[in-house]
């Protein structure tokens, strides 16, 4: 039996109508033109046109025709970090505060604004803060949580190895999956209790520095790895009114003779800044190099396959194929809520990558019932 907290569905928005609450929400964000776009693009007209009021994005196919795609939300280049957070992430954060698992992911070609959207610290200007910081801000502000009930781990996934960004010598962290509950955890990862927002900002900064150092050592770019913030929330349930079962008012404590026994409800939020989605074998590499390219992108490719399988209602969802999809297993299915933000640039020079990102987002929009992921 599943219990439902009364406040797990709150005000947020139309983004979240309950009709198809199991569906992955997909938003697209268009990056403002950068200096390169402005200088080199004389011959390349913009390849996309956003129509935010229609929640549509037009992609130009050639000089004569364009295709229009619908998303849950379309953010133009002027969209604020605050608005992106409120539409894309806040409903997931609220759901996690209500006791469910949730995932927020950013997908797109390198340089299109994934890290800006998700990981920006905004130290000098709070209006620049990205989703990770704003999510923790909301979680910390939840007065019903005690100070020891919010914990985070911060990880990097590269070449199918999970590295602890809070203790970088700790690489190859194994994934544990509870055979009974299906709960996925990383017993070897550093877990830090968050005292306040400043504390969290410091941790993120340490994580970023470690990520940078690790990638310099490996001679790779951070665009090749996934950054994963895992937030664990524990909340005690004392009050009978806090828990309403699917059968109505009856609570667990009623069943146990009326004593209010404090119980703990755990939930988990994953915020993932995915590796760049661009093809790595573009340069025509062969042999070992191509093999390496495939391995680097294994998790991303596997995520794509799971999304395709889910979108096609396939009976087999290949979640076991990569570390990323294994990590997402209990946060990306069943009652868990998932938001995907895809990021694109405006220039026609990257038409192929932009088109492929849009198609990824379109397929994810079709995922209606993700319960299957748990049943595999
Ligand atoms: P990615 O993580 O996808 O590789 P970044 O987040 O690093 O891309 O963004 C690339 C550059 O574009 C950065 O300098 C970033 O500050 C800038 N940028 C991205 N999105 C925006 C935006 N919405 N507004 C202003 N600058 C942005």
Mutation to probe ligand 1, out of 116, 271, 357 (largest number of atoms < 8 A from CB): 116
Q: Is 5 marked as binding a ligand?
A: no
Residue whose Cα lies nearest atom 22 of ligand 1: it is 31
Q: Is 301 annotated in some ligand binding site?
A: no
Q: What is the enclosing helix (H) or strand (E) of 29?
A: strand 25-30
Q: Which residue has the tokens 């096609």?
A: 312
Q: What is the DSSP secondary structure assignment for residue 117, as one 8-state letter?
A: H
Question: Taking the domains of the chain in order of start, what are their residue ranges?
Answer: 21-375
Q: How many CB atoms lie within 10 A of CB 153?
A: 24
113 labeled binding residue: yes
Tokens of 184: 């996925």
Q: Above 80 in pLDDT, residue 27?
A: yes
Centroid of ligand 1 to alpha carbon of 127 (angstroms)? 15
State mean pLDDT over 133-152.
90
Ligand 1 site, residue 222, Cβ cutoff 6 A: no
**pLDDT for position 323:** 96
Please state which of the ranges 24-28, 242-246, 278-282 shows the lowest mean pLDDT: 242-246
Task: Check whether 22 is labelled as a binding-site residue.
Answer: no
pLDDT at 216: 82
Model confidence at 261, in pLDDT bands (50, 70, 90)? low
- Cα separation of 102 and 232, whole Å? 11
30-88 confidence digits (pLDDT tens): 999 988 888 765 556 788 999 999 999 999 887 778 899 999 999 999 999 999 999 99
pLDDT over threshold 60, residue 247: no
The stretch 226-248 carries a mean pLDDT of 72
Question: Which atom of ligand 1 lies at the shortest distance from residue 118's CA?
Answer: 6
**pLDDT confidence of 219, banded at 50, 70, 90?**
confident
* Ligand 1, atom nearest to 30 Cα: 23
DSSP letters, 265-330, are: EEEEEEEEEPPP-S-S-TT---HHHHHHHHHHTHHHHHHHHHHHHHHTT-S---GGGSHHHHHHTT
Between 131-141 and 197-217, two packed helices, what is the crossing angle to 10 degrees?
A: 150
Q: How far is the CA of 122 from the centre of ligand 1 (A)?
A: 13
Tokens of 30: 């268009």
Residue 17 C-alpha to ligand 1 middle, in angstroms? 30
Q: Which atom of ligand 1 is nearest to the CA of 110?
A: 4
The answer to the question of whether 109 is labelled as a binding residue is yes
Whether residue 76 has its Cβ less than 6 Å from ligand 1:
no
Q: Which atom of ligand 1 is nearest to the CA of 116?
A: 6
Q: Is 36 in the pocket of ligand 1 (CB under 6 A)?
A: no
Fold of 21-375: Kinesin (3.40.850)
- Which strand (E) or helix (H) includes residue 94? helix 90-97
pLDDT at position 5 is 38
% of the chain beyond a pLDDT of 70: 79
pLDDT of residue 4: 37
- Where residue 285 falls (left for φ over 0; alpha for ψ -120 to 50; beta otherwise) is beta
32 lines ligand 1 (CB under 6 A): yes
On average, the pLDDT of the chain sits at: 84
List CB contacts of 216: < 8 A, sequence separation 6 or more.
none
Is the shortest distance between the CB of 338 and ligand 1 below 6 Å? Answer: no
CB of 357 within 6 A of ligand 1: the answer is no
The whole-number average pLDDT for the span 183-197 is: 95
pLDDT in the model for residue 373: 44
pLDDT in tens, 284-312: 556 666 777 778 789 999 999 999 988 88
- Quick check: 224 and 275 in contact, CB under 8 A? yes
What is the pLDDT confidence band of residue 250, given thresholds at 50, 70 and 90? very low
pLDDT band with cut points at 50, 70 and 90 for residue 245: very low
* Mean predicted confidence (pLDDT) in 83-106: 95
Find out whether 115 is annotated in a ligand binding site: yes
CA-to-CA separations, 374 to 269, 309, 314, 322, 358, in angstroms, rounded: 17, 14, 13, 16, 27
């Amino acid at each position: 039996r599943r219990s439902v907290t009364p406040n797990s569905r709150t005000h947020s928005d139309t983004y979240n109508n309950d009709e198809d609450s199991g569906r992955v929400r997909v938003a697209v964000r268009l990056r403002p033109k950068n200096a390169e776009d402005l200088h080199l693009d004389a011959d390349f007209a913009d390849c996309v046109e956003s129509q935010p009021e229609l929640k549509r994005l037009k992609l130009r196919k050639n000089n004569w025709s364009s295709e229009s795609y619908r998303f849950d939300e379309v953010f133009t280049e002027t969209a604020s970090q605050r608005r992106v957070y409120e539409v894309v992430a806040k409903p997931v954060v609220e759901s996690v505060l209500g006791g469910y698992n949730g995932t927020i992911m950013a997908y797109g070609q390198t340089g299109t604004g994934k890290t800006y959207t998700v990981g920006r610290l905004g130290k000098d200007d709070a209006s620049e803060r990205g989703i990770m910081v704003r999510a923790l801000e909301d979680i910390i502000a939840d007065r019903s949580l005690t100070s020891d009930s919010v914990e985070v781990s911060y990880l990097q996934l590269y070449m199918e190895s999970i590295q602890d960004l809070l203790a970088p010598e700790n690489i190859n962290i194994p994934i544990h999956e509870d055979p009974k509950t299906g709960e996925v955890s990383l017993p070897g990862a550093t877990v830090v209790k968050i005292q306040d927002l400043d504390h969290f900002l410091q941790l993120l900064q340490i994580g970023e520095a470690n990520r940078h150092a690790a990638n310099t050592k490996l001679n790779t770019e951070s665009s090749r790895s996934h950054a994963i913030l895992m937030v664990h929330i524990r909340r005690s349930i004392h009050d009978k009114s806090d828990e309403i079962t699917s059968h109505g008012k009856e609570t667990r404590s009623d069943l146990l003779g009326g004593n209010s026994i404090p119980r703990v409800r755990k939930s988990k939020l994953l915020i993932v800044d995915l590796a760049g989605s661009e093809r790595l074998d573009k340069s025509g590499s062969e042999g070992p190099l191509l093999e390496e390219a495939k391995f680097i992108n294994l998790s991303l490719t596997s995520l794509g396959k799971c999304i395709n399988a889910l979108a096609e209602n396939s009976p087999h969802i290949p979640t076991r194929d990569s570390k990323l999809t294994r990590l997402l297993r209990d946060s990306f299915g069943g009652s868990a809520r998932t938001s995907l933000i895809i990021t694109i640039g405006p220039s026609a020079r990257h038409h192929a990558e932009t088109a492929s990102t849009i198609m990824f987002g379109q397929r994810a929009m079709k995922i209606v019932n993700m319960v299957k992921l748990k049943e595999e």
